[in-house]
Amino acid sequence: MGLNCPVSMELMVFQETPANCASWVWDSHVTETGPDSRAAPDLKVDFESAGRKVWTRIIFMKEELKIRRFCKEDTEELFRLISDPEVMRYLEPPYSRDAAERLLEEAGLGEAPLIYAVEDKEGGFAGYVIYHKYEEDGMELGWVLKREVWHKGYADKLTEMLLKDAVGKAAYAVIECAPEQKATRRIAVKHGFVYRGRSEGCDVYIRRFEKTLDSHITS
């Protein structure tokens, strides 16, 4: 079941956006002393925590949006987001602070996160995306955004960013949503997803990719 169906270390940021960075994917690891040798050179320490420098890897960038790993310091912003009844209207009951902390720990801070933080061009927290493996050869994607950034095209841009990455990793992508989420349905259809039925109360939309995938994907 998707995390957007009813039922964001050490901080590393770009000093400036690379000129041709439509969708930028980092394959670097985060260490206690900083990025390893594969990390980009134009990154800087953003803050310190518990006496040591704290970094977070940027995953994707596109125009004014940035997808990055979560860090502990995102707790308050995440709590404000998922405790908002209007944001959570079609998802789950609003979260308590303890529940928000558990979500961050379990879904955002592990070695293989299920959710990633989203920032706007000013570096403000805008929400998060859901992006993780789905069954054996799919990727699930979704988004949960602050009310202040609704109607700005963020969900559309984020879907585009995630699809560009998923096409090289999976045979198909999935978006799950409540039947009442008309905006999510419109975005799914716009990006080539097709309705495939209902699972555990969620409408399931699938977009299959051409078979030009990495060798680890099997048909």
pLDDT in tens, 109-160: 988 999 999 999 889 999 999 999 999 899 999 999 999 999 999 999 999 9
Residue 190, pLDDT score: 97
The C-alpha atoms of residue 133 and residue 140 are separated, in whole angstroms, by: 6
Considering only CA atoms, which of 144, 173, 149 is closest in space to residue 160? 173
Residue 88: CA count within 13 A, CB half-sphere: 16
**Helix/strand number for the chain, H first, E second:** 4, 14
Q: Are 198 and 191 in contact (CB under 8 A)?
A: no
Residue 100, pLDDT score: 98
Residue 118, pLDDT score: 96
Q: Are 88 and 81 in contact (CB under 8 A)?
A: no
Under 8 Å CB-to-CB from 150, ≥6 apart: which residues?
Answer: none
Residue 4, pLDDT score: 53
Decide: helix, strand or coil at residue 172: strand
For the entire predicted model, the pTM comes to 0.72
For the chain, how many residues are written?
A: 219
Q: What is the 3-state secondary structure (H, E, C) of 112-165?
A: CCCEEEEECCCCCEEEEEEEEEECCCEEEEEEEECHHHCCCCHHHHHHHHHHHH
Q: Assign residue 30 a region: left if phi > 0, alpha if psi is -120 to 50, beta otherwise?
A: beta
CATH class of the 12-208 domain in this structure:
alpha beta
Q: Are 173 and 209 in contact (CB under 8 A)?
A: yes
The residues spanned by each domain of the chain are 12-208
For the chain, residues with pLDDT lower than 70 are: 1-63, 211-219
